[in-house]
Amino acid sequence: MLETNNRRIFLPGFISPIQEKNLAGTKKQFGQRKLDLLQPLRQWLDAIDIQNRKFAKFIAKLIPAQCPFERDIMLFGRTIAHIPPMCKLNPLYDELVSLRFRALCYLVDQCGEDIQSYC
């Protein structure tokens, strides 16, 4: 019970108590696991071990450093529209960026190459 401006407000009239069956339904909802069909592919990409200079160069050239779809549309030297990068919508984006990073690290650490041409 709460008192405000000499009026009594009964909270149970506004807030319904949580019932056990509602609580059990929430536990079931959070207990279910979602099926991720791309998980095996994600694990495979994360498990790729780069031990070859040629393969590392191939990966570094294949996966772009920046999203190739991001564009500024210009008219008479002024930007009239911007197309945002769409790569983040790719469900494998993080794994591919990680693979490219590992390839570049291999080229620098193991092969001693300059990777500025890949950036």
Q: Around 100, how many Cα atoms within 13 Å sit in the side-chain half-sphere?
A: 16
Confidence at residue 115, expressed as pLDDT on a 0 to 100 scale: 87
Confidence at residue 4, expressed as pLDDT on a 0 to 100 scale: 54
Mean per-residue pLDDT of the chain: 80
What parts of the chain have a pLDDT lower than 50?
1-2, 20
The model's pTM? 0.63
